[in-house]
Amino acid sequence: MLFKNLVYLVFVATCLISKTDTGLQEILGCLVFLVVACILFLFIRLVMAALSTQRLIVHNPRVKPEFLGRPLLFPARLSHARRFPVVERYNYWYDYFMVGVPVGFRGRIGNLISIDNHPTLESFREKCWFTIDPARYLEPGSSDQTLEEKLHIFLKNLGENPKEFPYAYMLSVPQFLWWQKFVVTYWYLYSPARELTAMIMEVNNSFYERRNIFFRLSEDGMFVDEPPHPPSTIIASAKGVSDSVSLHSLSSASQRKYYKGYYDKEFFSSPFEKVGGYILLKTVDILKGPSLQSTLSSNDPDGQVKVTSRLASWGDPVDPLTASGWTIARFIARWTHVGVMSTPRIVKEALRIRFRGNLKYLERPEVHPGSNSRKETNVERSLEPFFREYLSQLAANCTFPLCIQYIPSRSRNFDRLTFNSPIPPASHPRPVLEIESLTPRFYTSITEHPDAKTAFARETAVRPTNSDPNSRYLSVSDSSLLDELLATSGSSIEASLNKASKPISKEQTDHDGIATAILRRIILKVRGSSRESLIDRFVFQDHGRFSPAQRRTYLISVLHYELSLRLPIESQAMVMLGFITARAMIVGGLLDAFYSLWAREGLANWVRDEAGITPVKGALAFAGWDMINNFIGHFYVNPFAWGAGL
């Protein structure tokens, strides 16, 4: 955030200094200067990555000494072909670039690639051209864990034994500078005998939703009579230690040419494909060759093949530990842009298919339990703690033994939060009620309902779309247990809220401030209701649970949401653009008043005439700063993604 503000400040200052009456030509000149500076910066990084000594540096001398495979750069080609329906058959392809890394291998190779290191712990000199950041995989955001630790936790949560898969190799699109967007990440899991036996696929869509799928593989195809290669030794240096470290790279011992696996299609991966059916994967062992070849077939429930996607090597992989600097330079100059350009290519093909009109464009459903939902907005993020506190009070007022396991929207938190009722169980264990938020949109819609029974009934109800008939906002493991909880604890809380609920009075205005009282009245007017909702009353119940600042945050977020409901499409991004425009107009008005009131003062004349900060320019500069801090990175910049709460 500080870096973005600094760059913007330099840009504005350059425009003002270059010429007082800055016009479009001067602004374009400043932009060209910034682009040239960025290109020069990238060129310097390219030289550092290609010509620096490609030696392996590990951050911990006690690193795992043995691993399967070596770090490799895979040039590839990704192709898509639709087979059904016949009226819309198509075939297109584009270049793709992925990096393969042994899971358990941690370090960096010169300034070319950083593997399984935490970027915040690396100095500027240690920054690399490509990065495999462990925080972005399996459970995005849990940056304190390594890839191997996250893999073991993921397997344990599925009821699998990590010791059954002591070796693993991951294939993914790397992070380039600050950018990363990948459709799929492959985890190849090997048995103690180093044979490929299972896989994990991290499947993503354009809304940053994700589903991590584990499935076992079966042998398919001819027997490979090729003995494993002997281990190779890699000499690495450890950070802060003078002694070298010996690492041993083992080879795969898989016995078959091809492997195949199945998994249910419970994820919305394309706007032209419904949720349902299954996916068939056919792949080779990536470490045999090494070579990349993977084919995915999307099948409907009747077995009809609809779409096939093939990812295959496009040339030999590059070993960054043995390749020359010139080879590395040519490779990254040829393939770095491929990852950045993959998203525009996908969008272009999707628009081409949509405008032909032979396939119906499907509405995005909410994810199924176990999937990672889309990124939450600031409004949704700020409202989540209030629902969490309401759940804790449901447990605290429960009159029978119960354990509530709350799973927040997986875009923000992967830890289950447990709330136990104060009544000890007569027999162990306590009954468990799992409540999982399937979308950040739930945290805004829950603020609408008048009572708990209505709220949970509507939020757990199916909201069918043309892509998934089972889409919903909230998943509950046991509806009868929830009904019992709401009939006892929920009714008790509701009674206390109704008893304490009064019209917004002068006493409340004095306690929370006049701004809070005005916001509460505005929200009621926007809703067209005379009575506050369940969560409204819970937040403003006078038990000291929430501070005045937290209550104001709640009201501002709810107002933002309510205004988005009044638009032709429910879009928080459009409301924020309206807020930014209003704030910029206020700044312009204040500057105009400043110049009018102090027209004869030297400072006002200097700011307006010498510095060139007119009311219009000041308002535009403030709007740009507001966009950087409150819009870009918080909402989808692409307006085609707006709606459905975004």
Tens digit of each residue's pLDDT (9 = 90 or more) over 464-478:
998 899 999 999 999
What pLDDT score does 208 carry? 82
Distance CA 590, CA 369 (A): 50
- Exposed/middle/buried for residue 3 (C-beta within 10 Å: 0-12, 13-18, 19+): exposed
Report the 10 Å Cβ neighbour count for 34.
Answer: 14
The C-alpha angle with vertex 444 and arms to 440 and 445, in degrees rounded to 5, equals 105
pLDDT digits (tens, 9 = 90+) for 272-320: 889 999 999 999 999 987 888 999 999 998 889 999 999 999 888 999 8
What pLDDT score does 181 carry? 75
Helix, strand and coil content of the chain, in percent to the nearest 5, comes to: 40, 20, 35
Q: Are 435 and 476 in contact (CB under 8 A)?
A: yes
pLDDT digits (tens, 9 = 90+) for 220-271: 877 766 767 777 777 777 776 667 788 888 888 888 888 999 999 999 988 8
Distance CA 549, CA 512 (A): 9
Straight-line distance from the first to the last Cα atom of the chain, in angstroms, rounded to the nearest whole number: 22
What pLDDT score does 336 carry? 80
pLDDT digits (tens, 9 = 90+) for 549-570: 899 999 999 999 999 888 888 8
pLDDT digits (tens, 9 = 90+) for 372-389: 888 888 899 999 999 999
Distance CA 346, CA 205 (A): 11
Domain ranges of the chain: 2-45, 54-218+226-254+314-353, 378-548, 572-641
Whose tokens are 């910034």? That residue is: 34
What pLDDT score does 195 carry? 92
Which one, of 79, 467, 75, lies nearest residue 296 by Cα? 79
Sort strands 305-313 and 72-82 into parallel, antiparallel or unpaired: antiparallel
Query: Is residue 52 classed as helix, strand or coil in its secondary structure?
Result: coil
Write the CB contacts of 77 (distance below 8 Å, at least 6 apart in sequence).
Answer: 93, 94, 95, 96, 311, 312, 314
Regions of the chain with pLDDT less than 50: 20, 506-507, 510
Sort strands 184-190 and 196-204 into parallel, antiparallel or unpaired: antiparallel
What pLDDT score does 502 carry? 58
Distance CA 636, CA 343 (A): 14
- Exposed/middle/buried for residue 198 (C-beta within 10 Å: 0-12, 13-18, 19+): buried
What pLDDT score does 420 carry? 92
